Each structure stands twice: as C-alpha cells, then as structure tokens.
Amino acid sequence: MALTNNDIIKKLRVALKLRDEDIVKILALVDFKITKSELGAFFRSEEHPKYMELQDQILRNFLNGLVIHLRGPREDKRPKPTNLKKYSDD
C-alpha cells in the first residue's frame, strides 16, 4: 500500500510537531498562500465529505518551504566580482 500525499504531510506534521499555522507560514516562504481551513481539508479522513486530496504542487511547495524553514534561505555561492574596470571609447 503506497502512501498518498495526504499521508506524507500528516506524518511530517506529527514528526516535526507542526501546527496548522506553522504549515501556512512554511508555504508562505515559497510564496504559496493557503488558509488554515483549506489546509484542514487535507488532514481529514478520506470518508469525510470535506476531505480533499493533496495535490503534488502543494506537497512540492511544502517540501521546498520546509527546506528553507529548517536550513534558512539559500546563499548565493557565486563569487562577487571585484575591481570592475570601466572601459570607454575615449
């Protein structure tokens, strides 16, 4: 039996002790807006009439936001140019 996206986010929520507000903030880190009520539909049982299947896009954004939440924003590792010379046609 394979895990669904809903199962994955439920397990991560419990393992990392995240609350709904935390998940909303994590998704906001990657500019993905979701309300707590929309989020609650993903945590309901499959038999519940308001249950919604978690789409791949939302799980992907959550995982990307989780990386930023846990590690911090990505650093630009490219060296910054120094001693730039201006050339003129004079």
- Alpha carbon distance 37, 27 (integer Å): 14
Q: pLDDT tens, 15-38?
A: 999 999 999 999 999 999 999 999
Residue 67: enclosing H or E segment and its boundaries?
helix 56-71
Q: Is the Cβ–Cβ distance between 13 and 66 less than 8 Å?
A: no
Residue ranges of the chain with per-residue pLDDT less than 70: 81, 83-90
Structure tokens at 85: 């010379």
- Report the pLDDT value the prediction gives residue 89, as an integer from 0 to 100: 61
Closest listed residue to residue 34, CA positions, set 25, 44, 43: 25
